[in-house]
Structure formats: structure tokens, C-alpha cells
Structure 1
Amino acid sequence: MKIEMWSDYVCPFCYMGKRHLDIALQELHLTDEVDIEFKSYQLNPEIPAYSGEGMQELLSKKYNLTLEEAENNLREVQERAEKVGLYYDFEDMKPTNTLDAHRLTKYARTLGKDQALAEKIFKSYFEKGGLISDHDELLTLCKDVGIVKSQAYELLSDPNIYQEEVRRDMAQAEELKIQSVPFFRINQDYVIPGSESIETFVLMLQKIIRETS
């Protein structure tokens, strides 16, 4: 079974969606039976590496909310995440550009380490206040999953490496009319848009197994 997941590393619902999928696969004993491919998507490709602006301010400006309203919205997201064992630290979160993180994930896939790296990047950003556009941070995460530091450094030093692959994913998302992430496509025929519940993933996966067996 092939599962493609369009997502961005600064999307709180993408991390939740990934966790929901992981739990559903575990429940169905399918974890080792599927090939999950992370497809690149940038919610804001023009955002700088880091402006110093926090999540509350960013959300307030984007949706014309008061800071109190923005904080309440973020608190609701935190509570949803906690239900599946994710602990978002919006106070220390650093909104940033994700192109390099996506490029590294493309490289990690060639090594069979993309799943582990993606989890590390998500956790760094949402739970540890990591600046995931910073090359030192990314190199540390690569080392944690067994990627040779010198090879990762070479990639990060050349902005052209894997950039075309990232752009291709985003162009494909446009062709598929993907307007929000996460977005899951299974065996190129079945679609799960959004961070649906674990139950929804389980039911869809069971349906696919029945119809393709």
C-alpha cells in the first residue's frame, strides 16, 4: 500500500494527521506493510527564515484576531494535540521557512530515513522550539537519525539540490486542487483530506484492504 502525504512542517494539523495515521496503522498491524511518502507543501513559501515574530502575533495578523483570540485558538489546538500524545509549545515556536527541511526529507527518503527525520523535524518545531530553517539544527536532527553530517551539509549548502523535487510536489498539489494540508492519497485512488480522526483512518484503510484484496 502506498500512502502519499502532502504536508508542511509548520502545520500543526499535519503533525496531528501524521500521528493519527501512525496510530491507525499500528492498530491494523500495517506499519511495516505500507510505503509512506512525504510530499512537500509550503503554507507560506515567501516567509523569511525567522523574523522573531511568535505564533500569537502571526495568527493575529493573518486572521485579524486580537492576541487573546489568537491565544485561545492556539490553546484549542494544543488540547487536540495532547489527546494523541503531542505537546505543542506555541510560546517558544519559531515560524519559519521550511524549504530546506523539505529538501532534506527528499534526500532522507533515498536512505530510507525520511520517516524518522520527519518525526524529528516536527517534534523540534512544535515541542522543542527548534528553528527548523537553521542549518545547525537540521544537521543535528540528521545526525540523530543516522544521516552522515557531511552529506547533509553538502545538500544544505547548495539550494538547488532537491529543490526541483520540492517544487514538483507543490505543482502536483495544485493539479490535485489541494488547498489545505495534510492531504493523504492512498494507492493514487483514495483520498483523505485533513487531519481526520484515527477512526476515520482505520475505516478507510479497512475499506481499501477489502476492495484491493
Structure 2
Amino acid sequence: MRIEFWVDYLCPITYLTHKNLIEAIDELKLEKYDLLYRSYKLDEPLYNQLKQIPELIKIVNENIPGYVDQGFYDTDYVHQLAHLAKWNNLAKEFNVLVFHEAYVNNKKINDVKFLEEVAKKINLDLTETRKVLDSCCYNKQISSNKENAKYKGIIQVPHLRINIKHNYNGYYSKQELKNIISHILEESKNPKTECSGEFCNY
């Protein structure tokens, strides 16, 4: 199973959906899957717009006790290090830790010293980490992730795309994600065949 997840670290709904996704995967004992993180940096107008949606405010208040809205701030360093973690096969560990620090411990996560501590905790090379934070060498990848999302019609976070064809926008509970994953797994065991003329799609 291929799971693509477009994220921004200032979005509490992204944190909640990510948390629920990780728990759903663990509880389903899913073994054969790739979890691929994609950057989708929110700009300030979109961030402020999301803060005004009553449904989202309700979900955040119900699911993140003691949530502190720290306001918009640049998350470039976090996205830079996320790409380095991805390159080193530590993307899941990085995202779990960063989201936890942001929304459980209310930390501003774009601080260089904080990110160096994160790198240490997940065994990411510290020299390489500092080079990335100094040079911001993943600018192209971060920009490309967002442009690619827009090309696919993805205009908000969080966004999940499973096995290329299944798309899910916004907040999903753990049970909803377990149901989605189970359904897709079952569907893959019994693929439907659709024929038109001499051509068939499986």
C-alpha cells in the first residue's frame, strides 16, 4: 500500500489526522506499506483562513487539550529537515516527534536548536543536519511538492492519497482511517474488471 501525506506543521488538523493514521496503521498491523510525506507549506492568508472554519475549530478544541494557537510563523527549517529525514528513511520518526512537540508540548518548532535536538533523537547525522539548515538545500523539493499537489487538484492540508487513486481531504478519525485502509486492502484482493469494447481495466 502506498500512502502519500501532504503536510504542514502549523496545521493542527494535519497533526490530528497524522496521529490517527499512525495509530490506525499500528492497530491494523499493516506491514506492507510505504508512507510518503509531501511538503505543503501554508502561507499566512491560507493559515488565517483555516483558523476561521467553525468545524475545524471544534475538532481542534475537542481533540487537543490545552491547544495553544501560536499564530503564523515560517516553517521552512522544519520542511528542510523533513526532507533530509526522508532521504535517510527517518521520515515517520521525524514527523511523529515534531508533531508531538508542536501540539503536545506547544513548542515553536522552527528553531534551529530544537531541530538539532530532534535530529539527535532520531539518529540523524548532526553535521548533515547543520549543513541542510545552513544552506536550505531542499528549497526545490519543497516548492515542487506543493506545485505537484496543486497540479493534482490538492489545495489544502491535510491530504491523503492512497494507491494513487484514493484521495481524502481534511480530518479523519482513527476509526475512519482504519475503515478506509481495510476497504482498500479488501478491494485490492478482489479487483473489479471493467471492459469497453476490446479494452479492459483491472
Q: What's the TM-score once normalised by structure 2's chain length?
A: 0.82
State whether structure 2 residue 117 is matched by structure 1 residue 140: yes
Distance verdict in 2 for CA 1:22–1:88, change over 3 Å: farther
1:151-166 maps to which residues of 2 (within 5 A)? 151-159=128-136, 161-166=137-142
Structure 1 position 80, deviation (Å): 2.1
Partner of 1:90: 68
Distance verdict in 2 for CA 1:105–1:41, change over 3 Å: same
Partner of 2:195: none
Structure 1 position 156, deviation (Å): 0.4
Partner of 1:10: 10
Structure 2: which amino acid aligns with 1:80?
Answer: N
State whether structure 2 residue 126 is matched by structure 1 residue 149: yes
Please point out which of 198, 202, 210 is paired with 2:178: 202
Structure 2: which amino acid aligns with 1:188?
Answer: I
Partner of 1:54: none
Structure 2: which amino acid aligns with 1:29?
Answer: K
State whether structure 2 residue 21 is matched by structure 1 residue 44: no
Distance 2:45 2:77 in 1: 13
SS at match of 1:185: strand
Structure 2: which amino acid aligns with 1:6?
Answer: W
Structure 1 position 123, deviation (Å): 1.7
Distance verdict in 2 for CA 1:139–1:150, change over 3 Å: same
SS at match of 1:156: helix
Distance 2:92 2:83 in 1: 11
Distance verdict in 2 for CA 1:96–1:166, change over 3 Å: same
Q: CA RMSD in A?
A: 2.6
State whether structure 2 residue 131 is matched by structure 1 residue 192: no
Structure 2: which amino acid aligns with 1:97?
Answer: D
Partner of 1:79: 62
Distance 1:45 1:136 in 2: 24
Q: Is the 8 Å Cα contact of residues 74 and 90 (structure 1) preserved in structure 2? A: no
Aligned length in residues: 187
Structure 1 position 17, deviation (Å): 0.3
Distance 2:76 2:97 in 1: 16
SS at match of 1:33: coil
Distance 2:8 2:57 in 1: 18
Q: What's the TM-score once normalised by structure 1's chain length?
A: 0.78
Partner of 1:172: 148
Distance 1:176 1:156 in 2: 29
Runs of 4+ that moved beyond 3 A: 73-76
State whether structure 2 residue 90 is matched by structure 1 residue 113: yes
Partner of 1:25: 25
Distance 2:149 2:44 in 1: 14
Q: Which runs of 5+ in 1 are unaligned?
A: 48-57, 82-86
